Structure 1
Amino acid sequence: MKRLLPVAAAATTAALLLTGCGSGGEQSGDGKEAKKVTVGISQFVEHPSLDAAREGFVEGLKEGGYTEGENLTLDVQNASGDQATATNIASNFASSKDDLVLGIATPSAQSLAQAVTDKPVLFTAVTDPVDAGLVNSQDAPGGNVTGTTDMNPVADQIKLVKQLKPSAKSVGIIYSSGETNSQIQVDEAKKAAQAEGLKVVEKTVTTTAEVAQAAESFDTDAIYVPTDNKVVAGLEAVISAAESKKIPLIAGEGDSVERGALATQGLNYKDLGKQTGAMAVKILKDGAKPGEMAVESQKDTKLILNAKAAEAMGVEIPQSLRDKADQVIE
């Protein structure tokens, strides 16, 4: 896999690699031949959740008969959290000979959808693809774009605040003001918090560098972090703030809990990526049309608790919650 190539060279490199590909392929488990293909991947920023989605995507391709170095060439580009870079990557992919392109996270997916019109575009780690302007509807996307959504059970996540700290009266939410997916989750979180009798205090950031100051400024009984790319990239600063304030930190997905957040009722990004890879196989091998493929979601979420984080944040996890957990990180 090529990683972090200079953006200006992306299209040229992909074309040169593709030149060496013949018409041969290999047989997959379903007996159909998987011909040699090149897939471009635009990832908005590097952090464990999006990295897991990319790794799962590659696994999904492999399970469908496409193996990197054999009949699959990957051109992986990273925007490093910069929208202008994501736009440039998309422009290069538009002029490349890639057979399919993938956008990981809403900003990268939006850039690809706007720039690439003559080849299949898939997305993953996108909260609301309709609101983001990627598809006409989740059931009937239309055009050349489809993929998987990472919309979380936000209300269930907010309920964890009082389950872990019954005396809580307020929750701080930190998110990027420029991410559509985050605003959607925050709106849901505010509704859920009201139902729980929790006052919401919002802090917005424009860059990952601002996360630490925003987290330290909270004077609330808990902190909630949605699946916001810029905040999750700087999650350690939020964890540190929660530990110093001795308040629970609730996250939007499992990777953040593994890193040190206290709890989530969330999805698995590697599984979501693998699901997206299976969609790519249907397009590349079976000729499926993205516009006719419904946007998919992960149906099963998991309750994940971090016992070490609970101790560091001065929170005692109720036994009843432990008993319901799918995973407890000790």
Structure 2
Amino acid sequence: MMDRRAFIATLARGLMAAPLTLLAQPQSRLARIGFLAAGSASTRVQQPFLQGMRELGLVEGRDFAVDWRFAEGRYERLPGLGAELVRLKVDVIVAVTTLCVQAAHQATTTTPIVMVGVPDPIGEGFAVSLSRPGGNITGLTNIVTEVSSKHLELLQVAVPRLSLVAVLINPGNPSDALILEQIEGTAYTRRIKVLQVEAGTASQIEAGFAAITRARAQAVIVATDSYFDVQQELIIKLAVGNRLPTISSSPEMTEAGGLMSYGQDLAMHYRRAATYVDKILKGAKPGSLPIEQPTVLEFVINRKTARVLGLVIPRELELRADRAIE
């Protein structure tokens, strides 16, 4: 039989070991989210996504961690950044724009990918259909190609006797070619000539505006592009300096001094991306989650820029504007 001293010693060892056993129990694992964007780090990108996660009851640092990766407009970096996120073994990748989705998809066909802002996911081979995409990609489309025709229509109202419009595109962005094609089709029916201007660097943007001025174009459509977002201050400086009205899909560019913008609310899309991430983390398969299309578009006018350019905004546009910047 165990004597009294041996019993006490055994009991003491058990009591000492109990807390160590509890401490050794595994803690709940943080979900790891990769976020890949072609532009620059910005609260306009990051905060809406984090807000969307909070609205779902998920707190950064408690429930999930985000590995942010931004290419700063240098598209050649995207494949490496996408591969890096896969090596980190993230649970899901949020990829913003077509080039980011391409880079992530090249790196993995198994890790779920939530796309944001892709004009043609079926044409790009990311999905079989919008209702049931299949594969490892789902998320949200954009309609930058479709609204580009509207950009031309709005410019024609804002700029009297518009006959030549320049279209600034990035040759490294496949979506911009679709935008240009759409604008050219609309311009032909309206008897407006189109000047195609390609730029993928700051010096090319400067040279492009010099060409626009020489050609005496009366306005500029800035195609949707992450590098143009990075360089928006330069673009607006050159446009205003040359007294050129601009329109884009980006309200941020209008806030920075562009004349007008018409497009979807990307902040809302980043919030919606969080819903996809939450469902995937809970076990949903991306291939069975329908792809969403934008339903809300915003038209913004910068009245201050109009005054600088010497333009009088027609009453028709004032009434249609969702927001006016003084």
Q: TM-score by structure 2 length?
A: 0.85
Per-residue CA deviation, residues 73-97 of structure 1 (Å, 9 max, x unaligned), is: 1110112223332111111222222
Structure 1 residue 242: Cα displacement: 2.3
Structure 1 residue 239: Cα displacement: 1.7
SS of the residue corresponding to residue 315 of structure 1 reads coil
Alignment match, 1:252: 249
Alignment match, 1:240: 237
SS of the residue corresponding to residue 324 of structure 2 reads strand
Alignment match, 1:300: 296
Alignment match, 2:28: 23
Distance 2:243 2:48 in 1: 35
Alignment match, 1:181: 175
1:59 aligns with 2:51: yes
Q: TM-score by structure 1 length?
A: 0.84
Q: Go from structure 1 to structure 2 and tell me whether the alpha carbon gap of 1:47 and 1:88 turns closer, same or farther (over 3 Å shift).
A: closer
Q: Which has the larger radius of gyration?
A: 2
SS of the residue corresponding to residue 214 of structure 1 reads helix
Q: Go from structure 1 to structure 2 and tell me whether the alpha carbon gap of 1:22 and 1:313 turns closer, same or farther (over 3 Å shift).
A: farther
Per-residue CA deviation, residues 23-77 of structure 1 (Å, 9 max, x unaligned), is: 27xxxxxxxxxxx3110111112176xx524432222122112211211111101
Distance 1:147 1:45 in 2: 19
- Structure with greater proportional helix content: 2
8 Å Cα contact 1:227/1:253 also seen in 2: yes
The correspondence for 2:121, drawn from 126, 129, 135, is 129
Segments ≥4 residues shifted beyond 4 Å: none
Alignment match, 1:276: 273
1:220 aligns with 2:214: no
Q: Go from structure 1 to structure 2 and tell me whether the alpha carbon gap of 1:265 and 1:84 turns closer, same or farther (over 3 Å shift).
A: closer
8 Å Cα contact 2:41/2:70 also seen in 1: no
Q: Go from structure 1 to structure 2 and tell me whether the alpha carbon gap of 1:139 and 1:195 turns closer, same or farther (over 3 Å shift).
A: farther
The correspondence for 1:102, drawn from 94, 97, 118, is 94
Q: How many residues align?
A: 297
- The answer to which of 57-66 and 269-278 deviates more is 57-66
Counterpart AA for 2:164: S
Distance 1:139 1:195 in 2: 34
Runs of 5+ consecutive residues of structure 2 not aligned to the other structure: 1-24
Distance 1:146 1:104 in 2: 12
Counterpart AA for 1:203: V
8 Å Cα contact 2:149/2:183 also seen in 1: yes
1:326 aligns with 2:318: no
Percent of pairs identical after alignment? 25
Counterpart AA for 1:64: L
SS of the residue corresponding to residue 77 of structure 1 reads strand
Q: Go from structure 1 to structure 2 and tell me whether the alpha carbon gap of 1:44 and 1:325 turns closer, same or farther (over 3 Å shift).
A: same
Runs of 5+ consecutive residues of structure 1 not aligned to the other structure: 1-19, 25-35
SS of the residue corresponding to residue 117 of structure 2 reads strand
Distance 1:314 1:88 in 2: 46
Per-residue CA deviation, residues 258-315 of structure 1 (Å, 9 max, x unaligned), is: 1111112211111111111112112113x22111122212201011100011112221
